[in-house]
Amino acid sequence: MARKRSKGTTTTFVFFALLSIIAFCAFVPVFAPLPSLSSHSNHHSQHKKVTTRKFEIANDMFWKDGKPFQIIGGDLHYFRVLPEYWEDRLLRAKALGLNTIQTYVPWNLHEPKPGKLVFEGIADMVSFLKLCHKLGFVVMLRAGPYICAEWDLGGFPAWLLAINPALRPRSSDPNFLRLVERWWETLLPKVAPLLYANGGPIIMVQIENEYGSYGNDKAYLHHLVTLARGHLGDDIILYTTDGGSREALEKGTIRGDSVFSAVDFSTGDEPWPIFKLQKEFNAPGKSPPLSAEFYTGWLTHWGEKIAETNADSTATALEKILERNGSAVLYMAHGGTNFGFYNGANTGGDESDYKPDLTSYDYDAPIRESGDVDNAKFEALRRVIKKHSAVSLPSVPPNNEKTGYGQIHLQEKELLFDILNRIDSIDVVESENPLAMESAGQMFGFLLYVSEYAAKDDGSILFIAKVHDRAQVFISCSSEDNGGRPIFVGIIERWSNQTLGLPKTKCLSNISLYVLVENMGRVNYGQYIFDKKGILSSVYLNGRILQQWKMLSIPLNNLNEIPKANPIIQVSYSEFIKNSALRKAKENVLKEPAFYAGRFSIDKVDHVKDTFLSFRGWGKGIAFVNEFNIGRYWPMMGPQCNLYVPAPVLHQGENVVVVLELESPDPELVIHSVDQPDFTCGRGSSKSDVHQL
C-alpha cells in the first residue's frame, strides 16, 4: 500500500464488447465464473489427491490440501495493534468472514539499530502468526524489505540513510543487498517453521511491494527471490503485488512460474479486465484472480478532511470479484494506530509538498481503530462475504466498552531547554555545518541545532533552504535581564519555507540560535522515499553561511523502544512540583516547548477500559500514557482531535499522562479523557467521501 490514486467520486468503468476465449481445461470464457469453491468440482476429481498439507496454484485457482480455495482475506498489521488485542481483532476479522490474514513485516521495527534485533512485545511477529494459526486463518506474509504501508520510510530502518557512501535501496546495489541478506538471515528462519507445508499458517510470501510503481531493476527482484528460496524452499508460493496497469506489471513482476503476480487497483474499477491483464504476467494455469489490496477506505494526512468511502458501494465492488470466484484481500480489514513516531508520509510533485499521516490509521476500515464493528461498512461487507463463504460465519462480537475518565489537570513540569541545559547525558555532536538527524544518531522525534552569531542593531535575516520537516527557531542573549531565556522567533516548515527575520537586540555577547527540528514521519512511497530529516542544507544569516554547530539529541520513548535511562522522561515523571511554584501556560508568552504532566485514577480493575484523550485547545505535540508513546497530536491542523488509548496501556490505580507541548498549551492546562474518537478539528474539520464508486 499504496500508490497515489485520484480522489474523483466516480471511476470510469471499462467495458469490453468482445470476450476472448482461452483454454481453461475445457474452453471457458475468460469472464465466466470459475468452478464453485464451496462444492466439489470436476477439476477437484482431476486434481491429484494429497495426503500432506499443501497450498498451491493450478488451473488458475488456489488449492488447499487438494481442494479449491477462495482467498477472502484482510490486512491486519500486528505492529499497529497492542499484543493484548491481537486475538480480539482477529476474532472480529473472523466474524467478518475472512479466512486469510495478510500482514507486512517492518524491518525498522525489528532492527531499530544495526544489529539490535527486536522480536518482543508489539514486534513479536511469531506469536502473532501462531495466533492466526490457532484461530484458523491462513496467512499471506509481506516480508519486504520495502513495505510502504504508510509506515516510516516504507519499513526501511532509518540508519540506512546514515551510511556512507550512500546506499541505493530498492536496487541491486551490492552494499544494500548485503544488509538485506543479513536481515533476511534473521527473519526468514523464523518464518520457515510457520510455512503451511511445515504445519504453520503461511501460504504465500510477498517479495518487495508494488515495485512496478517505483523501479525496473529485475536483478534486484531476482536476488530477493533467490534469497527467499534459499531460506524457505521451492514449494512456498512467492508473490508480487503491483498496480493493475501494464506498465506497473511490466516493471514489477517476474515472468514465468517461479513467482505469482497479484494485482491491486482502485475500488470501483472493473476488476475482470484487470484480472485478464494479470494472466499475461503469470504462467498458463497459474493466474488465479487476486486483488491483493481491495481498498475498504483510504488514508488521511494532517490538514485534510477525514477520508471515508461509501459502505454499500464498497460491498458492491467486492461482490463483483467474489461472485465469479475471484479472491480479494481487504486493505484494511482493521487499520489500527501509528503509535510512537512510526507514521509515514507522502509527497506531491516535489519533496517540499510534504503530507504526513495521522496518528490514527483507522482507514475507514470495517473494524475501526478501537475495534468497533457496529458500523455500516462491516455489515455490508459481511453480507457479501457470507454469500460466498464455504463455512458458516461466527456471530459478531459486541464493541469493546469504552469510557471517559473526565478532565485531567496537567502541571507544567519543566521547559525543554532547561532540561537539556542541566542534563550531562544528552548526546551532543559538533560539526562545522549542520548534520542530518540520521548522521547525528537521532532517528526519530527531535534534534536541537545550536549555533551563535554577532548581534546587529537592525536585526538579521535567517534562511534555511531545506528543513525536514518543521523547525521552531529561538534566540537568546546571556547578557539580557531574562537570564538568557530563549525567545521564540518563528517556524520554518518544509512545505512553506521562507526567510525568517530575527529581532534586533542590544546583546553584549554573541546571540545563541536554537533550531528545534521535528521529524514528522518519513516518506513511505514514491521517488522521494529516501527522506533524511533535520537541517539538510547550509544555514544562511544575512546571506552568509553560518557555521560551527552543535546538535543535541532528545531521547523520547518510541514504539517498543524505551531507553533504559531516559533523563527527559525521568524528569517528566518525577514528583509533581508544588502548585505555588507553577507557571501557568497563559503566563508563558515565550512559546517554549515544555513538558506537562497529570494523573488520573482508576479505582477498580474492571473499570480499566479503552479511552481517548482529547487535545482540543492544545497546539502540537507528543503524548505519553504510563510511558507508552500514544502518538502525535495536532488539533490546530486536524482533523484528528483525540488520541486512542487502549485499555492495556492503563491499570488500576494512578495513571500518568506526560505531554510534550511544542507551542501553545491549553490555557487551563486540561485535557479530557472521552469515550469516542473525534476527527472534526482544525483545517480538516469535516468529512471527505473519497474514492466513491
Question: Looking at the annotation, which residues are catalytic?
Answer: 210, 293
Vertex 418 angle, CA 631 and 460, to 5°: 95
What does 218-248 look like in DSSP terms, one character per residue? HHHHHHHHHHHHHHH-SSSEEEEEEESSHHH
Cell of 313: 458501494
- Residues 60 and 29 sit within 8 Å (Cβ to Cβ): no
- Integer Cα distance of 189 and 366 in angstroms: 34
Peptide bond into 332 cis (omega under 30): yes
Q: Which of 36, 37, 72, 63 is nearest to 393 (CA)?
A: 72
- Residues 107 and 144 sit within 8 Å (Cβ to Cβ): yes
- Integer Cα distance of 466 and 464 in angstroms: 6
Q: Which of 222, 327, 240, 326 is nearest to 281 (CA)?
A: 240
Report which DSSP code applies to 179.
Answer: H
Q: Which of 248, 260, 353, 303 is nearest to 71 (CA)?
A: 260
- Residues 42 and 34 sit within 8 Å (Cβ to Cβ): no
Q: Between the CA of residue 400 and those of 131, 296, 367, 479, 486, what are the distances in Å? A: 20, 22, 12, 58, 46
Radius of gyration of the chain (CA): 27
Beta bridge partners of 57: 62
Q: What is the dihedral of CA 474, 478, 479, 481, to 10 degrees?
A: 70
Beta strands in 55-94 (DSSP E): 55-58, 61-64, 67-69, 72-76
- Integer Cα distance of 622 and 630 in angstroms: 8
- Residues 205 and 233 sit within 8 Å (Cβ to Cβ): no
- Integer Cα distance of 106 and 122 in angstroms: 12
Q: Which of 336, 394, 341 is nearest to 370 (CA)?
A: 336
Cα 17 to the center of its chain, rounded Å: 42
- Collapsing DSSP to helix, strand or coil, 648 comes out as helix
Cell of 169: 535501496
- Residues 551 and 451 sit within 8 Å (Cβ to Cβ): no
**Burial (Cβ within 10 Å: 0-12, 13-18, ≥19) of residue 218:** middle
**Burial (Cβ within 10 Å: 0-12, 13-18, ≥19) of residue 692:** middle
Backbone angles phi, psi at 84, to 5 degrees: -65, -20
Cα 333 to the center of its chain, rounded Å: 15
Q: Between the CA of residue 159 and those of 147, 214, 278, what are the distances in Å? A: 17, 21, 37
Cell of 666: 491549553
